[in-house]
Amino acid sequence: MSSTLETLFDFQVKALCLPPPEAEVRFDPARRWRFDRAWRPWKLAVEIEGGTWVKGRHSRGSGMRGDAEKYNAATLQGWRVLRFTGDMVKDGSAIKVVEEALLRTSCT
């Protein structure tokens, strides 16, 4: 199930006519890790970090450690992981970075 921020992000992707990402993509066969959104053909993933200002899971020690393990494993498997706060999704700066990343990918 998508969060409000993920729904907004999906709307921004569609508004810019970008290729639609897959939601909740598992990338590691040994772990249950999932990306919020991902473009498998380009191994580009997006993580939208909610609760950054309210002491959510991602801002506590164990959550940060788990995130670090997940992102490091993804990097070792060739994924590029873009991380955004809710504010970045809301102000449009996240989708600009994704648009640039997809543009750079398609040109290489």
* CATH code (residue 9): 3.40.960.10
Share of the chain above pLDDT 70, in %: 85
Amino acid symbol at 53: W
Two structure tokens written together for 96: 């600009």
CA atoms within 13 A on the CB side of 13: 19
pTM metric for this prediction: 0.85
Two structure tokens written together for 72: 């490091």
Q: Name the pLDDT band for 54 (thresholds 50, 70, 90).
A: low
Strands 44-49 and 34-39 turn out to be antiparallel
- The range of the structural domain enclosing residue 86 comes to 4-106
Residue 60: is its pLDDT beyond 70? Answer: no
Q: Name 46's bridge partners.
A: 37, 82
Counted domains in the chain: 1
Range from 13-22, 35-44, 61-70, 73-82 carrying the lowest mean pLDDT: 61-70
